[in-house]
Structure 1
Amino acid sequence: MGAGFSEVIHVPTRLRICALLAGAGEVEFSVVRDALHLSDSVLSKHLKVLEQAGFAGLRKGSVNTRTRTWVHLTKEGQRAFKAHIEELRQLAASADQLPQ
């Protein structure tokens, strides 16, 4: 694998999370959960891995006295996601070269 490939991002659920965040900026936790059809606990676990890798950031705040959490890709996360997608494109392009 090339230098752009990320084992952290490549896990399907995390890849989907990163794709959603890359296109949307900061998103409320519940929106990510519902869009990807995940439970709170599964989403939390994957976000924790992304956060520990420095790829995602979480921000807590209050809306109508209820605590909310917003999620975003960090600059490092954006770079890693773009590099990972480019690596996947290169892999797919090389697969297109295989004899049929």
Structure 2
Amino acid sequence: MTAETEPAHPVTGLDDVVHQRVRLGILTIAHEARRVEFGYLRGQLQLTAGNLSQHLGVLETAGLIEVEKGYEGKRGRTWITLTAAGRTALAEEIGRLKLLIARVETTEGREPAEIGHAVGKRG
């Protein structure tokens, strides 16, 4: 199998918008509930309000979450909901991560092989 016909490594399919640590956390927590309150996310992910807001903006712009502002009593609240596109993106990311884990697990305990083109040879 040549480099041209060999399938791409699973890491090439990771989505940088989703895979970033904080955003992956936001999507994962949002997947667990119908909607998630901003303060809960901030506490769980140990972020400042400003930092969390920036990440929520990236996810909202990508169409992966919806942000709803409202009131609970007299207190302002911000709620985050995972969109259908967000659920799909998270599932695809988890699938890629599973492929990466499987590759590592299948090579554990084996002598590492050489991978790549031989130096000085032309294919």
Same fold (TM over 0.5): yes
Shift of 1:27: 0.7
Runs of 4+ in 1 over 4 A off after TM superposition: 1-4
Report the residue type matching 1:34 in the other structure. Answer: G
Q: Give the aligned residue type for 2:54.
A: K
Shift of 1:4: 5.2
Q: Tell which has more relative contact order, 1 or 2 (C-alpha 8 A, sep 6+).
A: 1
User: How many residues were matched structurally?
Assistant: 100
Instruction: Show the counterpart of 1:45.
Output: 54
Q: After the TM superposition, which residues 62-81 of structure 1 pair with which residues of structure 2 at under 5 Å, given as runs?
A: 62-81=71-90
Query: Could you tell me how far 1:95 is from its partner in structure 2?
Result: 1.3
Letter in 1 for 2:92: A
1:4 and 1:55 mapped to 2: Cα distance? 17
Q: What letter is aligned with 1:25?
A: R
Residue 6 (structure 2) pairs with residue 32 (structure 1): no
Give 5+ residue unaligned stretches, structure 1. Answer: none
Provide, for residues 2-49 of structure 1, a one-character-per-residue CA deviation record: whole Å limited to 9, x for no partner. 585211010011111111111122011011111111110110000000
TM-score (norm 2): 0.75
Distance 1:48 1:62 in 2: 20
Gapped runs of 5+ residues in structure 2?
1-8, 112-123
Q: CA RMSD in A?
A: 1.5
Picking from 17, 30, 35, the partner of 1:21 is 30
Amino acid at match of 1:66: R
